[in-house]
């Protein structure tokens, strides 16, 4: 969300600084099917902007979708959130930890514990 608002603010600032009269503001009536005159220009500026945000490089393609980004895969463990992999659009998910590692942790957690199992009759 932070990066999205930053992109919007940077594009709006650039649009305002490059327009001879600045960005025009005025009331719009949603029931009248009106559009903001500067809307298309603002979207164009957003597509042209590039910067490094807190989620990585911010770049949009011609359709306005974010490109060249990845997501960290997190898992909640006893010590809090742990990064266990990364997802990237062209590569998919890449896990940095094997299931056998996590299985060993589960076994250790359950060691010397009594479990009560119930089944319907």
Chunked into runs of 10 residues, the chain (121 residues) has average pLDDT values of: 93 88 80 82 91 88 87 84 87 83 79 89 82
Same structural domain, 45 and 99: no
The 3-state DSSP class for residue 18 equals helix
Q: How far is CA 76 from CA 40, 52, 73, 111, in A?
A: 42, 27, 10, 20
Same structural domain, 41 and 82: no
Q: Is residue 81 part of a domain?
A: yes
Q: Is residue 33 part of a domain?
A: yes
pLDDT score recorded for residue 6? 95
Q: Is residue 65 part of a domain?
A: no
pLDDT score recorded for residue 47? 94
**46 close to 7: Cβ distance less than 8 angstroms:** yes
pLDDT score recorded for residue 63? 92
Same structural domain, 43 and 96: no
Same structural domain, 8 and 51: yes
Q: Is residue 119 part of a domain?
A: no
Same structural domain, 12 and 54: yes
Same structural domain, 44 and 75: no
Number of structural domains (the chain) is 2
Domain of residue 106: give its range: 70-110
H helix intervals, the chain = 2-18, 39-48, 99-110
**84 close to 74: Cβ distance less than 8 angstroms:** yes
End-to-end CA distance of the chain: 51
Q: Which two tokens stand for residue 66?
A: 């974010």
Q: Is residue 64 part of a domain?
A: no
Is this prediction's pTM over 0.85?
Answer: no
Same structural domain, 24 and 53: yes
**85 close to 94: Cβ distance less than 8 angstroms:** yes
């Amino acid at each position: 969300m932070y990066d999205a608002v930053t992109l919007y603010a940077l594009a709006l600032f650039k649009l305002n600084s490059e327009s001879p009269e600045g960005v025009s503001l005025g009331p719009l009536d949603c029931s009248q099917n009106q559009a903001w005159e500067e809307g298309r220009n603002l979207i164009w500026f957003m597509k042209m902007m590039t910067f490094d945000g807190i989620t990585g490089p911010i770049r949009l393609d011609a359709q306005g979708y974010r490109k060249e980004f990845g997501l960290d895969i997190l898992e909640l463990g006893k010590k809090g959130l742990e990064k266990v992999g990364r997802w990237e659009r062209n590569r998919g998910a890449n896990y940095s930890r094997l299931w056998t590692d996590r299985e060993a942790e589960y076994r250790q957690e359950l060691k010397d514990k009594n479990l009560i199992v119930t089944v319907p009759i």
